[in-house]
Amino acid sequence: MKIAAIRSYHLRCSLQKPFGFSQWTYDQRNVLVIEVITDTGLSGWGECYGPADVTQAAVEHFYAPRIIGMHALSSEVIWQHMWRSSLDFARGGIMMGAMSGLDMALWDLKGKALNLSVSELMGGRQRQQIDCYATGMYFQDMNEQQLLSTLVAEAQAYACEGFKAMKIKIGKNLNFDKQLIKAMREALPNTTLMADSNHAYDLPEAISIGRVLDECQYHWFEEPLSPEHLRQFHSLHNKLDLAIATGECEQTRFGFDKLLTSGGVNIIQPDLAYCGGPSEALKIRAIASANGVNCIPHVWGTQLNLAAAVHFLATAYVEPGRAESQSLLLEYDRTENPLRDELYSTSIDIKHGVATVPDAAGLGVQIDPHTLEQFTIKRSETL
């Protein structure tokens, strides 16, 4: 079974209500999805995290021509071939995002070929269901007092839907952030809360915010600092009690090894559509395990990346492990996203804040061809 063709689809949709976080505001969704097709007609699908138009060029003009004709089930051979092909000039960034989507598609394809789910291919399930945390509470264009009450009401709505954990956005400004952190805890005293600043703070600011998070018993502090300043994470960790989480901007086992070696990070968050794909994520998890650190994927985009994370967490073991083990939470973005909610005829089943691991072969989600056409703004095909 050889790779006969690779198609990529740049998908786009406008949002009815723009939303923002510490760095900028979104008014549309863009994603690149990949279809790897074999000479038998069987195909697999993957997703790339990053700027879709630029990533599409990397797939179409660089990687796809190099892997056409290779054995479709030899995913590790293909990964290493792509890695070596671009090693001299692209050990991370856009090119690794392209590799990630291709690798994800190969895992989906292999599962379908062998009639096994991706979690079975990854070694077997530790769990059939996974608790989710709702990611939301993004900033909106309104005065801060109105925004504060709007975000608290949004969080309360997720709690009513059954979510027992959720992650808020901070990084707007220190005064507002501290008010929001306290208001959320007051409104949801029994909810597991996390906070994500999207690397908005310098070290003194992160310490100040972190102490408020400690006081309010938040579960983790995500991306408190710039990913460029790894040594600061150790300094921050020494000042706080809560876990420090980061890694969505990092890629490959080599990048995560440097991140963990620098110290101060308690939870790493590779994105399977960006870090190098499922193949590399498994190696990253092994490095995390060797350092006594848990690996909880960052999830953004569509059902493909969500499904990859579900299978990954279904196979995960908790560090260090105990009879009454803590949960490894699945990130479930609750912002408006037609590319996640309308594109698929088969999606991940999530009810009352709990995701069920798919039993179907491959990733277990299915794109609707008609809807795919509606959202596609540019299509490429390499034969």
What rounded mean pLDDT belongs to the chain?
A: 97
Q: What are phi and psi of 59, to 5 degrees?
A: -65, -55
* Set 298, 311, 352, 370: catalytic member: 298
> What token pair was written down for 159?
């709690």
The C-alpha atoms of residue 274 and residue 52 are separated, in whole angstroms, by 12
373 pLDDT band, cuts 50/70/90, is very high
Quick one: 177 and 187 in the same domain?
Answer: yes
For residue 44, list its beta bridge partners.
Answer: 36
Q: How many domains does the chain have?
A: 2
> Residue 327 gets which letter from DSSP?
P
62, with CB counted inside 10 A (0-12, 13-18, 19+), is: middle
Q: What is the pTM of this model?
A: 0.97
Regarding whether 361 and 284 lie in a shared domain, the answer is: yes
Residue 30 domain boundaries? 3-115+367-382
- pLDDT of 258 > 90? The answer is yes
Residue 199's CATH number: 3.20.20.120
| pLDDT band (50, 70, 90) for residue 80 | very high
On the question of pLDDT at 325 being above 90, the answer is: no
Q: Rounded to whole angstroms, how far apart are CA atoms 281 and 326?
A: 21
Q: Distance (Å, rounded) from C-alpha 266 to C-alpha 293?
A: 6
Tell me: do 107 and 193 sit in the same domain: no
**66 shares its domain with 147:** no
DSSP 8-class letter at 117 = B
Work out the pLDDT band at 382, boundaries 50, 70, 90: very high
Quote the pLDDT of residue 326: 81
Residue 351 pLDDT grade (very low, low, confident, very high; cuts 50, 70, 90):
very high
Rounded to an integer, the average pLDDT of 96-119 is 98
Cα-trace Rg, the chain: 20
- The verdict on 279 and 316 lying in the same domain is yes
Pair of tokens at residue 108: 């989906």
CB 9 within 8 A of CB 372: yes
Q: Which of 81-95, 141-155, 257-271, 319-333 has the lowest mean pLDDT?
A: 319-333
Confidence tier at 327 by pLDDT (50, 70, 90): confident
Share of the chain above pLDDT 90, in %: 98
Is the domain of 264 the same as that of 329? Answer: yes
Asked if 219 and 248 count as a contact pair (C-beta separation under 8 A), the reply is: no
Residues forming a β-bridge with 354: 131, 351
Same domain assignment for residues 75 and 9: yes
Same domain, 92 and 193: no
Over residues 248-259, mean pLDDT: 98
The answer to whether the Cα torsion of 70, 73, 79, 81 is positive or negative is negative
Q: Write the pLDDT tens digit of every residue in 164-213.
A: 999 999 999 999 999 999 999 999 999 999 999 999 999 999 999 999 99
List beta partners, residue 344. Answer: 367
Q: What is the mean pLDDT of residues 112-122?
A: 98
Q: Are residues 36 and 129 in the same domain?
A: no
Angstrom distance (rounded) from CA 172 to CA 241: 23
Classify 58 as helix, strand or coil. Answer: helix
Summarised one tens digit per residue, pLDDT across range 266-294 is 999 999 999 999 999 999 999 999 999 99
The whole-number pLDDT of residue 20 equals: 97
Q: Identify whether 298 is a catalytic site residue.
A: yes
CATH of the domain at 377: 3.30.390.10
Q: How much is the pLDDT for 179?
A: 98
